[in-house]
Amino acid sequence: MNCRRNTIFGAALCAAAVASAPSAAFAQSSFRNYRCADGAQFIVGFFQYDSRAHLQLDGKALTLPKRVTLSGSRYQAKGVTLRITKAGVTTLKHARRPTTTCEQQT
């Protein structure tokens, strides 16, 4: 955000915009918990104006860019691949482990 802070009004307007941004982003987000067949668990967050997947996996936060795929969605970076098919099947590959199927927890 580019704010003009050289005036009191500009600084106040910028502060108000920054303070309201997290609540607006949170209202436009989706978080899902998954448990995989190999015992792995992760949380993934999707935000309305961000095509990336934001994972919490093995105690680390990862941001996976969306990659081109013919069916469903694929997110990949740093040796981690998350696939979600149009049928809703989710798979995860990470840390030199084989690909595993994951189920969304309620």
- Ranges of each domain in the chain: 29-105
Residue 81: CA atoms inside 13 Å, Cβ hemisphere, count?
14
The CA distance from 100 to 91, in Å, is 5
Q: What is the mean pLDDT of the segment spanning 28-57?
A: 95
Which residue reads 């015992």 in tokens? 39
CATH classification number, 29-105, choose in 2.40.128, 2.10.25, 2.60.40, 2.30.130: 2.40.128
3-state secondary structure of 59: coil
Task: Give the mean pLDDT of 56-72.
Answer: 95
Q: Is the pLDDT of residue 3 over 70?
A: no
- What pLDDT score was predicted for residue 38? 95
pLDDT of residue 61: 96
Average pLDDT taken over every residue of the chain: 82
